Amino acid sequence: MRSLRRSISLILLIMAAIVPVLGQKAPEYLFPVRGVSGSYSSSYGEMRTNHFHSGVDIRTDKVEGKAVIAVADGYISRITYAPRGFGYALYITHPDRGTMSVYGHLSRLRKDIAEYLTEARYKEQANAKNLFPKATQFPVRQGDIIAYSGNSGSSFGPHLHYELRDTKSGHTLNPVKAGAVKAKDTIAPKILRLHYVVVDTLIGEPKSRLIGSYTPKFENGSYRIDSLVELSGRGYFVVETRDAHNNSSSRFGIYKAVVSIDGKRHFDYRIDRFAFADSRHCNIVSYYPLQRTAKCEVLRLARLPHAPSYLFRHSPTNGIVSLDEGAKAEVEIEITDSSGNGSKLHFSALGTRYLGRPMPKLSYGAVYVDGVQEQSVVGEGFSLSLPRNALYEPEYCRTEKLNDNSISAPSVIQLSPIYRIFAEECALNKAVKVRIATSCPTELQRCARIAAVTKEGKVRLLGGEFRNDSVEVQTRRVGDMVVVADTIAPRITARFKEGADMRIGGVLRFSVKDNFSGIADYKLLIDGEWRTLDLQPVKGELVHRFDRPLKSQGVSHSVELEVKDGCGNISTWRGKIIK
């Protein structure tokens, strides 16, 4: 009976921590990290490589170890460590607000949370871990320290990645518009370029084609284009824009774009939220042929198929514009950032006759792919299988090898000609199956992979495996591809001396490098027992922090590290330490 009373008291205490008093408005979200200037290096909704940025990146003044706090009352609902992505991360559910806050790239967790994660890692002998504790296990109050900022995972410098999510839909929310954080930003976005893209057809299917570009002038607080902007046929506008914050050299994304024609609202895009399942559709929200190499936002002022409908407040014609030959219209485009700073572009548009021209084939044997239906393409030494809706727009696919078949990668062995699977300006909506034939010697079959080939002839791993005289891979990458074999094992360098005395502090730190396929797996044994390892992929380091005491203290211990790359090549390092 006494035990039952204690359990009830504990539950009531936790509920008091996470449920607001009836009738009281919940206090504002707190800023998630203490002791920093409060500036950002990335904003919400930015166009990244094949995804929208799902939060804000908060600078921690080039150092790690700043206190990260719970922005509101709630409980820790998820604890993760992954060598890539967010690295060490915490997720806090806020029941009274219907939201979840996310904190990524942490250096270390609060002691009790860290011990919980460590216990799970050792129990399953797994370096990567994803845990979902009960709501009663780690309740938090607003302002509690939960972790410390860092540089773990796929991070290129110390910062805190912070997100706010809607718990019901799972959508990530714009934290500035939701009032969770504020940016030090009084600077309006710049409007750099305007393009007109006609919606042509390729064998009867809609196909975008850029036919006109203009550079605006900035005068008297707004942008203008002096010449008439010619609208030939049905099409839409594309705008290149870049935002900035006070006291920051970073480039930021925009929040809203509104097009008005002759004083009437024509198109309205806003990124208040997005679903992770839709994140890749940034490739159709942006104008991908320009966005993929741009150092700014290249926003398509139109809603094309697959673009999430909730991003568009108003688009009765899906942003498509059309003027009769000789007709004129006054156009205004307003670009606004999340802090409410805006810029306007004004110009006059003139309808002109469009003389459509067929899209040229990439080569004589190119095959038309509509991108909607399931389709297979068989070429000279390769095949391609596409699921339904694999492409955003129709394309031609080459069916023969390139004339220039050389790669500039002496550390791998080339096993096939180079093939071009669509042009690099093509964005894939879904993964396609690529199969390339190869006369691969038996001893190389285990390490044969398909690689992407850059313009400089360098190779980057796509993956796949050898089967039935060919290598097959599922990929969302297009462009030039080749089969290569990698026989070189990773290189391991200990960052401490043999027999190093680590009795006072100290960590085991190793540099790990691979020539091609990257670090895929690793295992550390001390005196034959499994120990945790953290991979820092950007630095190329593996680190063990002695998160569990060794059985014997003050004596010599044997250390063995095994590292495997993406092609299955293995290196082993052995040595001694005193601990």
pLDDT, one tens digit per residue, over 439-462 is 999 999 999 999 999 989 999 999
Closest CA to 492 of 460, 448, 524: 524
Structure token pair of residue 438: 């190869």
Band (363; pLDDT cuts 50, 70, 90): low
Asked which of 110-119, 289-298, 352-361 is least confident by mean pLDDT, the reply is 352-361
Each residue of 248-269: b (16+ CB within 10 Å) or e?
Answer: beebbbbbbbbbbbeeeebbbb
Band (25; pLDDT cuts 50, 70, 90): low
Q: What mean pLDDT do residues 76-98 have?
A: 97
pLDDT score of 22 more than 60: no
Contact between 428 and 474 under an 8 Å Cβ cutoff? The reply is: no
Q: What mean pLDDT do residues 516-532 have?
A: 97
424 or 560, greater pLDDT: 560
CB-based burial label for 412 (10 Å; 0-12, 13-18, 19+): buried
pLDDT in tens, 111-131: 999 999 999 999 999 999 999
pLDDT score of 6 more than 70: no
Global pTM reads 0.91
CB-based burial label for 356 (10 Å; 0-12, 13-18, 19+): exposed
Band (358; pLDDT cuts 50, 70, 90): low
pLDDT in tens, 390-404: 999 999 888 888 888
Residue 503 CB partners (closer than 8 Å, separation 6+): 553, 554, 578, 579
- Region of residue 197 (left: phi > 0; alpha: psi -120 to 50; beta: else): beta
pLDDT score of 163 more than 50: yes
pLDDT score of 10 more than 80: no
- What is the rounded distance in angstroms from the CA atom of residue 288 to the CA atom of residue 330? 27
Residue type, 264: K
The whole-number pLDDT of residue 203 equals 64
pLDDT score of 311 more than 70: yes
- What is the rounded distance in angstroms from the CA atom of residue 173 to the CA atom of residue 166? 7
- What are the counts of helices (DSSP H) followed by strands (DSSP E) for the chain? 4, 47
Contact between 187 and 195 under an 8 Å Cβ cutoff? The reply is: no
Q: What mean pLDDT do residues 89-110 have?
A: 97
pLDDT in tens, 203-257: 667 788 899 999 999 999 999 999 999 999 899 999 999 999 998 889 999 999 9
pLDDT score of 357 more than 80: no
Residue type, 423: A
- What is the rounded distance in angstroms from the CA atom of residue 3 to the CA atom of residue 70? 31
- In this prediction, what percent of the chain has a pLDDT beyond 90? 84
First-to-last C-alpha distance (Å) of the chain: 48
Structure token pair of residue 242: 């870049």
- What is the rounded distance in angstroms from the CA atom of residue 291 to the CA atom of residue 239? 11
| DSSP 8-state code for residue 391 | B
Band (26; pLDDT cuts 50, 70, 90): low
pLDDT score of 424 more than 80: yes
pLDDT score of 8 more than 50: no
The whole-number pLDDT of residue 85 equals 94
Q: What mean pLDDT do residues 562-573 have?
A: 97
Band (497; pLDDT cuts 50, 70, 90): very high
Q: What is the mean pLDDT of the chain?
A: 92
- What is the rounded distance in angstroms from the CA atom of residue 477 to the CA atom of residue 416? 18
Which residues are paired to 191 by β-bridges? 241
Contact between 307 and 315 under an 8 Å Cβ cutoff? The reply is: no
Band (23; pLDDT cuts 50, 70, 90): very low
